[in-house]
Amino acid sequence: MLSLRAMNFLAGTWVGEWLVGLGRITLLSREAIASASTFKFSRRDVLYQIYFIGIKSQSVVIVTGAFTGMVLAAQTYFQFHKVKMDTATLAVVSVSMCSELGPVLTALMVAGRVGAAIAAEIGTMRVTEQIDALRTLATHPTDYLVVPRLVASIIAVPLLTVESMIVGIAASYAVAVGLLGIDPAYAWWNMLKYSGDVDVMIGLIKSVFYGGIIAMVGCYKGLSCSVGAEGVGRATTEAVVYSSITILICNFFLTLVLEHICIILGL
């Protein structure tokens, strides 16, 4: 009986902490969006963050997109070949890369690289009392630290997603035509027939949300980390884990909402 009470107490404590954290990150997001709408942030900081988040993440995104497209083409071909639908392989790959795998895998790779870096950088500033120094100098930490990273992430992640889509489809085309022997004309025609602009738009809309999630979770974990090296390490780990889980959960709901909107609009 005592163990059951202890378990209930721990579960209630965990739920309470989760709700408090959700409320705090919601308030931080509202404050950051309000600040971004007034253009109080430094353009130079935004450009640097775009370079750090976008350009320096290209290698990871390109490798991930290329091999994802290749393995998806191979697996789709092996199954479609059983029912003589080889030429539909590229159509499946293009739709998957544009609307699902491209945005999600790009966001997960960026979360692992950039989300951890943001949490570690801001967490170190908090531990060394640099954030308190900013307040002393009448500089709001949200304007100086959070908003440039949020704006840059919202800009960079969709661009990386487009790059992942292109590389993934190109790599799958090379594997399908060069390695698996699929007729290039029919494969290309089916891809253009069954995939369209709406798939790309769905992927880009998702990537905007994912970019905001990565930046806000990383900044929140950095700003709220506990004192000491252990606190910074824990904040870095939690930033990657929480942002990745949030991306996967949001992907399900965004898919349902966006596909339903497309059905209503007849797209």
Average pLDDT over residues 121-134: 83
Q: How far apart are the first and last CA of the chain?
A: 57
| pTM reported for the whole predicted model | 0.87
pLDDT score of 25:
78
Whole-number Å distance between alpha carbons of 225 and 231 = 6
Over residues 55-100, the pLDDT tens digits come to 999 999 999 999 999 999 999 988 888 888 888 888 889 999 998 8
- Record the tokens describing residue 26, joined without a space: 């919601």
Q: Which of 144, 123, 118, 142 is nearest to 213 (CA)?
A: 118
Identify whether the C-beta of residue 76 lies closer than 8 Å to the C-beta of residue 92.
Answer: yes
Average pLDDT over residues 253-265: 88
Run of H or E including 17? helix 2-37
Over residues 186-235, the pLDDT tens digits come to 888 888 888 888 889 999 999 999 999 999 999 988 888 877 778 888 88
pLDDT score of 1:
45
pLDDT score of 214:
93
pLDDT score of 129:
80
Average pLDDT over residues 110-121: 90
Whole-number Å distance between alpha carbons of 33 and 82 = 51
User: Where does 128-146 have alpha helices with state H?
Assistant: 130-136, 141
